Structure formats: structure tokens, C-alpha cells
Amino acid sequence: MRLKIKIFTLCGLGLMLAPQLLKAQNPIITDVFTADPAPLVYDDTVYLYTSHDTASVSSTNYEMKDWLVFSSTDMKNWKNHGPKLSPKDFSWATGDAYAAEVAERDGKFYFYVSTFHKDDDRSNGGAAIGVAVADSPLGPFKDAKGEALIYNEMTTDNPHGWDDIDPSVFVDDDGQAYMYWGNGSLKMVKLKDNMIELDGEIQYYNPKNFIEGPWVYKRKGLYYLVYASKGEERERVEYATSDSPEGPWEYRGILADSAPNSFTIHPGIIEYKGKDYFFYHNGVLPTGGSYRRSIAVDYMYYNEDGTIQKVEQTEEGVEAVE
Ligand code: FUB
């Protein structure tokens, strides 16, 4: 009898919790630890390129061996396509697979990655940016250059070895491509039409509180620079806007507070099926933390004047879209 009562009580509790559990969409990926979201809308599908945290629970540093790809057509159900690229696919690279982003141009998909260079005179073993290319958003991706696009000694404004990370590539309506990246300062360079060669000098910027993780896009003629910034104890997200992809950038404020249980946060923004979405990562999964992060997504809302309302980071996340 006692057992029956217990089972009944547990079932009742389960039924009460079920609607809430079903509603909790965040984090959106729970079977692996993912970070640094880079969503791309192509052919009515959202492709989500991510970093992959594999550090142990006690680790005090990153262990990131490859980049993963997920896809969705409703923003709720995500298909895991597995690892699609790794630093091992670049003969010149070694070490961790930091943040990456994919840009499409003329039916080709360019996978810009931050990783580390094997030690040589040009790189001193520092962080470097490479580019791989494929005919499909799901690959197979191959090193497009056979050498790094950006290596450590090309940028000299910051002495630390990991200032050349977090590429974000934006192609303007006139076809000109721009790559933004950086840790400690923001750097920008134009890319040639082939998307794998630099076109001109590197430009340097110091947006207020900038740390890393730039995400650049254009909406209604206004250019947005969103980035991970220096918060009070942990990173948060701030943003700036400009009338030109080359700046100057006008500071607009805080877009998202620090993410729970993670020192870093990293923005990725899309408009999909009429709604605006803000991707980021936090450390809320069981055993999660700064080196075992998880990607989440919430709605983003623009004001009439183009400014963006502060994003509310929720457990519920977003609803399925048709
Ligand atoms: O994931 C490794 C690094 O942490 C990324 O490159 C940064 O943006 C931060 O999220």
C-alpha cells in the first residue's frame, strides 16, 4: 500500500512538472557541451556551427578538439550532424578549436576558424585564423588555402598570443566581404571575392569594453557590431552601430548580461521566419561550467530606431516556428 501511495505521489509530481520540463528549451543542445554559436540561415534552414567543449569536470582550461554542426527548420528541434572540421584538417594548425563562423557566397561555404599555429617565425605558435571551404553547408570542408589567413605576427597592437581569434565574416550588399576578429581589440580586413585572400590593410578598433567574439551584420541599412565585453566579473554582451562596415562604431549599450555559470559569453544573431534570435552559451547543464558550456537561444527585439532591447536569458527559450 505504502509503495502504491509513493508511486502515485511520484506520478502526480511528474505530471505537475511535465509542462515546465517540456517548456524548458534552453540549453538547446544537451547531449554534448557546445559553445561559440555561429548560426547561418541558408535554404530555409538554420545551420548552427559550434565549438565543442570536452574538458573534464576538474579541468581549468579549454579542451576543444573539433567544430560541430547542428541544423533546424523550426528553431526547436536540432539535428546533430557531428564534427565537420578539426584543427587536424589544417596542416599548419595545432591545439584547440576556438570559435568559428561560416559564410556563404555563390553556393560555396567558407568555414573561418580560430585555432593555434604550429610554432614558426611567422606565428610564434600563437592563435591563428584559417579558412576551409565546401560545396554544402554540411561539408565536406577542406583547408582552402594551405596556410593561415591570419597568423599571430600579422597583428601587433596586442602582445598576447591569442589576440587573433573569433572570426566573423560579413558580405555586404555590394559583394564586398569583411572579416572582423580579435581578443583585446577588434581588427577588420577586407577579403577578396575568392573569400580566402586579404584585400588591403588590417584596421584596428577599440569598441568600449571589447573583449572578443565580434558578430557583425546589417539590418535596414544599419551595421551592427555585437561583441563579448568586460562585465563586472564575467563577460557580457555589448553592441555598437555604424553607417558603414568600416566604422566608426557608435556605442549603444549592454545587449545581454553575463551568462550563468560561465566566464565567457559569445553572441550569434539571425532573423529566421520573421523572428529575431540571439544565440549565446552558458554553463548551466549538470557538471557544466566555463570549460563545459552549452548553447542557448532567446528572442531579440529591435526598437523603432534600430536599437535593440536587452535580451532576457530564459530557461524556456523559444517556441517552434512553422
Ligand atoms: O571557446 C573558446 C573561446 O572562448 C572563444 O574563442 C571565445 O569567444 C570564448 O567564447
Alpha helices in the chain (DSSP H): 2-23
Distance CA 49, CA 38 (A): 5
Residue 17 scores a pLDDT above 70: no
Q: Averaged over 307-322, what is the pLDDT?
A: 97
Hey, what's the torsion of the CAs at 74, 78, 83, 87, to 10 degrees? 60
Looking at residue 175, its pLDDT comes to 98
Distance CA 163, CA 253 (A): 23
Residue 111 scores a pLDDT above 60: yes
Residue 83 lies in a domain: yes
pLDDT-derived band of residue 89, with 50, 70 and 90 as boundaries? very high
For residue 10, count CB atoms less than 10 angstroms from its CB and return exposed for 0-12, middle for 13-18, buried for 19 or more.
exposed
Residue 151 scores a pLDDT above 90: yes
State in Å: Cα 83 to ligand 1 middle: 18
CA nearest neighbour of 121 among 154, 97, 144, 96: 154
Residue 52 lies in a domain: yes
Looking at residue 1, its pLDDT comes to 40
For residue 119, count CB atoms less than 10 angstroms from its CB and return exposed for 0-12, middle for 13-18, buried for 19 or more.
exposed
Looking at residue 4, its pLDDT comes to 42
State in Å: Cα 136 to ligand 1 middle: 25
* Alpha-carbon separation of residue 62 from 97, 117, 159 (angstroms): 9, 17, 21
Across the beta sheet with 222-229, what order do the strands follow?
A: 210-219, 222-229, 236-242, 250-256
* Residues labelled catalytic: 36, 212
pTM of the model: 0.93
CA nearest neighbour of 92 among 54, 64, 131, 63: 131
Q: Whose CA is nearest to atom 8 of ligand 1?
A: 213
Distance CA 244, CA 99 (A): 25
Residue 309 lies in a domain: no
Looking at residue 163, its pLDDT comes to 96
Q: Whose CA is nearest to atom 4 of ligand 1?
A: 264
Q: Whose CA is nearest to atom 1 of ligand 1?
A: 98
Q: Averaged over 174-197, what is the pLDDT?
A: 98
Looking at residue 194, its pLDDT comes to 98
Residue 2 scores a pLDDT above 90: no
Looking at residue 110, its pLDDT comes to 99
The domain of 59 spans 2-299
Residue 316 lies in a domain: no
Residue 314 lies in a domain: no
Looking at residue 3, its pLDDT comes to 38
Tell me the Ramachandran region of residue 166: left when phi exceeds 0, alpha when psi lies from -120 to 50, beta otherwise: left
Looking at residue 16, its pLDDT comes to 43
Find the farthest-apart pair of alpha carbons in the chain and give their distance in angstroms, rounded.
Answer: 80
Looking at residue 122, its pLDDT comes to 80
Q: Averaged over 142-165, what is the pLDDT?
A: 94
Please, what is the Cα angle at 290 between 289 and 296, to 5 degrees?
75
Lowest mean pLDDT among 12-21, 135-144, 212-221: 12-21
Residue 306 lies in a domain: no
State in Å: Cα 14 to ligand 1 middle: 38
Q: Whose CA is nearest to atom 2 of ligand 1?
A: 98
Distance CA 150, CA 131 (A): 10
Mean pLDDT (the chain) is 93
Considering the chain, what percentage of its residues have pLDDT values greater than 70? Answer: 93
Residue 149 lies in a domain: yes
Residue 96 lies in a domain: yes
Residue 9: all three cell numbers together: 505521489
Residues in the chain: 322
Per the structure, the count of domains in the chain is 1
Higher pLDDT, 208 or 123: 208
Burial annotation 207-236 (CB, 10 A radius, 16+ → b, else e): beebbbbbbbbeeeeebbbbbbbebeebbb
The answer to whether 258 touches 273, Cβ cutoff 8 Å, is no
Q: Averaged over 192-200, what is the pLDDT?
A: 98
User: What is the CATH classification number for the domain harbouring 45?
Assistant: 2.115.10.20
Q: How large is the C-alpha radius of gyration of the chain?
A: 20
Residue 119 scores a pLDDT above 50: yes
Residue-wise pLDDT tens digits, 30-74: 999 999 999 999 999 999 999 999 999 999 999 999 999 999 999
pLDDT-derived band of residue 7, with 50, 70 and 90 as boundaries? very low
Looking up cell 538547446 gives 28
Q: Which residues line ligand 1 (CB under 6 A)?
A: 35-36, 51, 62, 98-99, 114, 165-166, 212-213, 228, 264, 266
Looking at residue 121, its pLDDT comes to 81
Q: Averaged over 190-216, what is the pLDDT?
A: 98
Higher pLDDT, 297 or 21: 297
State in Å: Cα 62 to ligand 1 middle: 9
Residue-wise pLDDT tens digits, 231-280: 999 999 999 999 999 999 999 999 999 999 999 999 999 999 999 999 99
